[in-house]
Amino acid sequence: MRIFAFVLALVASAAFAADLSKEQRAEIEARIQSYSQACVVGDEACAGAGATAAASGPRSGEDVYNGACMACHATGAAGAPKVGDAAAWAARIDKGMDALYASGVNGVAGTGMIAKGGCGDCSDEEIYAAVDYMVDNSK
Ligand code: HEC
């Protein structure tokens, strides 16, 4: 009788374990996934995982603009020169692209134009491309 109860308990706990994993597997897998999918920048496994600039090459000026600059430069928020507003850009463009690149990377002291427009993971080259994109569309 004792053995029977023991076996019963075993079977019951096995069933319980199976139920548990069935119900929670998805949740657990989702939780583990961020670790199992961790990839090293440049690793082919990262391609398509998006995000990392180094893995997928530099983002285009348009992508950077849409992600990091548009918030101010599409609307003129904080006094930003609007992309497409040739009058607002003419005097700036006259300063030369190097000056504008420098403003893009370093920001403009005392204004809402913070370094790299706040895009901490943008490379200098990506900022240059975004500046090119903005200038090309503001002449
Ligand atoms: C939080 C708002 C904000 C964001 C985001 C922002 N800018 Fe600006 N930007 C400004 C403002 C305000 C100015 C005008 C500064 C001034 O008074 O000369 C400006 C000016 C500029 C200028 C002209 C600077 C000059 O020397 O005339 C460039 C180039 C520029 N931004 C590039 C960018 C790029 C590239 C991004 C995205 C990576 C970006 N900005 C994101 C607010 C912003």
Are the C-beta atoms of 68 and 130 separated by less than 8 Å?
yes
Same domain assignment for residues 30 and 74: no
**Range of 13's domain?**
2-38
Q: For atom 1 of ligand 1, which residue has the closest CA?
A: 112
Q: What is the CATH number of the domain that holds 81?
A: 1.10.760.10
Burial code of 32-49, b = ≥16 C-beta within 10 A, e = fewer? eeeeeeeeeeeeeebeee
Residues with CB under 6 A from ligand 1: 64, 68-69, 71-73, 77-81, 92, 99-100, 103-104, 108, 111-113, 116-119, 127, 130-131
pLDDT tens per residue across span 20-76: 677 776 666 666 555 545 555 555 655 554 444 455 689 999 999 999 999 999 999
Q: Which helix (H) or strand (E) holds 106?
A: helix 97-106
Same domain assignment for residues 78 and 111: yes
pLDDT tens per residue across span 31-44: 655 554 555 555 56
